[in-house]
A and B are shown apart, each in its own frame.
Chain A
Amino acid sequence: EIVLTQSPGTLSLSPGDGATLSCRASQTINYNYLAWYQQKPGQAPRLLIYGVSSRATGIPDRFSGSGSGTDFTLTISRLEPEDFAVYYCQQYGGSQAFGPGTKVDIK
């Protein structure tokens, strides 16, 4: 079973700043089966990135994903007010696992 860790736990930033969120897996993630989600309070998660670096439908290009093997990154180039939320990485492919999340809040 793959265990995902995310860092930092909380990121305090201002609108317009760039954000870099990290996700590390306990073992190699095969087939690039790594996704990122955004969740706002009281809402269901929203798929942002799948296959490490492919943006889901309707996701703006300020969101980008990268990485391979066990280390992955979600980058938000310039934070918009609506981007302040919790972000989760996920390993999928049969069994799945989510990371504990990174909260991006307003500084």
Chain B
Amino acid sequence: VQVLESGGGLVQPGGSLRLSCAASGFTFNSYAMSWVRQAPGKGLEWVSGISGPGGDTYYADSVKGRFIISRDNSKNTVYLQMRSLRADDTAVYYCARETATYYGPEDYWGQGTLVTVSS
């Protein structure tokens, strides 16, 4: 099982960024996927999750209305579209596989991609 994030970088406040997460080594559409972030020197914060088929999505209050999670099961890829970015969105963003199709903890994690929101 492998999970590989990409798309991080430096973006100005108010800007947008799309993160991608390519997965391999398992039946992708059978597993929910999540994004979890970690600000520098801080703890883990769950951001968003999506069910295996893609019909159910969940968001933390801190990103609701600004971030959109989606997945393309034909490409084994999950995305996080981030808009109206703020300084406090600066973090390493981890993509992770959940242990079940709908609900589960995260058992496989990528190494993370750094998003820096700064002018």
Contact = CB atoms under 8 A, between A and B. Distances in A.
A39 interface: yes
Contact of B105 (A1, A47, A57, A95): A47
A50 interface: yes
Contacts of B110: 44
A95 B56 CA distance: 11
Contact of B106 (A47, A86, A93, A100): A47
A1 B61 contact: yes
B39 to A, nearest CB: 12
Interface of A: 1, 33, 35, 37, 39, 44-47, 50, 56-57, 86, 88, 90, 92-101
B44 A35 contact: no
B111 A97 contact: no
Contacts of B112: 44
Interface of B: 34, 36, 43-46, 49, 56, 58-61, 94, 96, 98-99, 102-107, 109-112
Given A37-B44, A44-B112, A45-B106, 7 more contacts: A35-B105, A37-B105, A44-B109, A45-B36, A47-B106, A92-B103, A99-B43
17 contacts: A44-B96, A44-B111, A45-B109, A47-B105, A50-B99, A50-B105, A57-B107, A86-B43, A90-B46, A92-B103, A92-B104, A93-B103, A94-B56, A95-B59, A96-B49, A97-B46, A98-B45
Contacts, number: 61
B34 A96 contact: yes
Contacts of A50: 99, 104-105
B31 to A, nearest CB: 13
Contact residues of A: prevailing secondary structure: loop
A56 B76 CA distance: 24
Contacts of B96: 44
A94 B111 contact: no
B103 A33 contact: yes
Contacts of B106: 45, 47
